[in-house]
Amino acid sequence: MRLAFVDNIRWTMILLVLSMHASDTYSPFGSWYYTDRGEMSFGTVIAFGLYQTFLQAFFMALLFLIAGYFAAPALDRKGPMRFGRERFLRLGVPTLLYMLAVGPLTQYFLSRTWGSGGFFHQWLVHLADGEWLSETGPMWFCAFLLILSLGYALLRRTNPNGPPPALGTPDNRAIVVFIVIMALATFLVRIEVPQSVSILNMHPGDFPQYILMFTAGIAAYRGRWFDRVSEANAMRWSLVALSLSVPVLAVLVFMGGALQHDTSQYGGGFNLVSAGKSLWEALVCVGMAFGLIGLYRRCFDRQGQMAKFLSDNAFAVYLFHPPVLIALALLLHPLELPALAKAALLTVAAAVATFTLSALVFRRLPILNRIL
């Protein structure tokens, strides 16, 4: 089952992933293999902070929504056992490839975050001390998606009544309840596990959003929401949610500590700033999901040659972009440009290079073409 507008949303989100990691390279926020951070104005810091926080609020969650939408019919067709095997092949194997090969090669030869003694020696140390379990890099998404997919398959297998009945299209109250549940669940988790904490390179503080969006994707398939919700309603809900997010963001910026260079409360804890940020993220997440689905279904529900090329190569780009992006960042290091301009240039260069390498190299290799 292919939907052109959904495929177009997917490769757009992959481009935003490249943009996020290019921003991580130069901004004072985020965690990345290689950073090239120099002095920058307070305005540049705020610009990076707002952009990266805005992306983080929705772009990966939207990929989980799409994944849930396609997981439901795949499980219906294949049954739990075959579905689980194929999910492991398409999600688990690429994740292991990254953890055991792509990530180690990136860290040793490019970011140089490994010790001395030769690559093979450090690779054995990497395996022996269990560090590899936390080195999923951007493939944490596939690892967590595999867990959600297998959990969904297990629930379906234990249910003798087959697929659940279709749900009607969401109304205003259902959307408000969904936003409140997402905000409250996120806030409660982050009281004990701040957003900065990672477990096996995954952030539990973001799990409620991802789980709820994956579940919403399943419900969307069952109720044919992508077909039945009008563009007008989708855009209206998007406009309302995003409009409400603006004053919440203003309060968070002006009263949460950002202007005083204090970001300690944004990541979690039992405080109003963390609660407000959880609400803001939920509003942006739902608002952007409705907005992009409505916009892309109306304006981008077709694929020409370029869009199909981007769609076909998006997953390979996601898997292999870290070493390419870091290599390009090293080449750009001597270039004297403002940090924001450099991040934009790195995004474009990495996109061109990784999509080209995917089409000409990665997806043509016999071993890789089965999983890419």
The pLDDT tens digits for 160-176 are 676 667 778 899 999 99
Percent of the chain's residues with pLDDT above 90:
80
Two tokens at 350?
A: 């990495």
Domain contains 366: yes
Question: In the predicted model, what is the mean pLDDT of residues 4-9?
Answer: 97
**Would the pTM count as exceeding 0.85?**
yes
pLDDT at 196: 86
Q: What is the C-alpha to C-alpha distance for residues 60 and 54, in angstroms, rounded to an integer?
A: 11
Domain contains 338: yes
Domain contains 262: no
Could you give the number of structural domains in the chain?
1
Q: What is the C-alpha to C-alpha distance for residues 211 and 109, in angstroms, rounded to an integer?
A: 36
Asked which of 1-5, 29-33, 313-317 is least confident by mean pLDDT, the reply is: 1-5
Domain contains 312: yes
Q: What range defines the domain where residue 10 resides? A: 1-56+307-372
Two tokens at 283?
A: 């509003």
Question: In the predicted model, what is the mean pLDDT of residues 337-362?
Answer: 97
Asked which of 164-173, 235-244, 347-356 is least confident by mean pLDDT, the reply is: 164-173
For tokens 């995954």, the residue is 202
Asked which of 110-114, 122-126, 278-282 is least confident by mean pLDDT, the reply is: 110-114
Q: What is the C-alpha to C-alpha distance for residues 345 and 351, in angstroms, rounded to an integer?
A: 10
Domain contains 46: yes
pLDDT at 138: 96
Beta bridge partners of 202: 199
Question: In the predicted model, what is the mean pLDDT of residues 15-19?
Answer: 98
Each residue of 297-315: pLDDT tens digit? 999 999 999 999 999 999 9
Asked which of 58-67, 235-244, 261-270 is least confident by mean pLDDT, the reply is: 261-270
Domain contains 326: yes
C-alpha dist (Å) from residue 332 to 30, 72, 263, 340, 341: 20, 44, 30, 13, 12
Each residue of 81-119: pLDDT tens digit? 999 999 999 999 999 999 999 999 999 998 888 877 889
Average pLDDT of the residues of the chain = 93
* 314 contacts: CB under 8 Å, gap ≥ 6: 10, 11, 14
**Which of 242, 224, 271, 217 has the alpha carbon at shortest distance from 9?**
217
Q: What is the C-alpha to C-alpha distance for residues 111 and 40, in angstroms, rounded to an integer?
A: 22
pLDDT at 49: 93
| Phi, psi angle pair for 328, to nearest 5° | -70, -35
| Phi, psi angle pair for 199, to nearest 5° | -125, 115
Q: What is the C-alpha to C-alpha distance for residues 94 and 83, in angstroms, rounded to an integer?
A: 17
Helices 59-87 & 272-299 angle (0-180, nearest 10) = 70
Higher pLDDT, 160 or 324: 324
75 and 156 Cβ atoms separated by less than 8 Å: yes
Top-confidence range, 1-5, 103-107, 128-132, 278-282? 278-282
Domain contains 48: yes
With a cut of 90, say whether residue 370 has pLDDT above it: no
Each residue of 199-225: pLDDT tens digit? 888 999 999 999 999 999 999 999 999
Domain contains 191: no
With a cut of 90, say whether residue 182 has pLDDT above it: yes
Long-range contacts of the stretch 240-244 (C-beta < 8 A, 24+) = 240/287, 241/175, 241/179, 241/283, 241/284, 241/286, 241/287, 241/290, 242/283, 242/284, 242/287, 242/288, 242/291, 244/283
pLDDT at 160: 65
